[in-house]
Amino acid sequence: MYVLTENMDVSGLPAAEQYAFALGVEWSEFHRKLCGGASFRTVCRLKNRDRFVALAAKCGRFCEDHPLQPGWCEVFVGDVGRGPR
């Protein structure tokens, strides 16, 4: 069973339900890694980038993102308590 914890706001997109599910799976995996405390990198859909950066900031974690190919980006999150060097 899945519980809605974040509004994925994909109304009006083709296959919106499947896309929202994919965004939610990415978000869940990001949140799990974020709670672990270690630094990590992940590739995500561009639509999730702002959510991930905001969630990392809310948790007090350094976070930066870099665009990859159209529609995708890489997000880096630093260790707990460690900002940019």
CATH number, domain with residue 53: 3.30.1370
Query: Domain count of the chain?
Result: 1
- Per-residue model confidence as pLDDT tens digits over 7-20: 556 565 556 777 77
Domain that holds residue 40: 16-77
Q: What is the CA radius of gyration of the chain?
A: 13
Which residues are registered as beta bridge partners of 63? 77
Give domain status of residue 39, yes or no: yes
- Per-residue model confidence as pLDDT tens digits over 20-45: 788 888 888 999 999 998 999 999 98
Tell me the residue type at 55.
L
d(CA 84, CA 64): 10
Give domain status of residue 1, yes or no: no
Give domain status of residue 6, yes or no: no
Q: How high is the pLDDT of residue 38?
A: 92
d(CA 58, CA 76): 15
Residue with tokens 């509004």: 7
Among 25-34, 63-72, 74-83, name the one with the lowest average pLDDT. 74-83
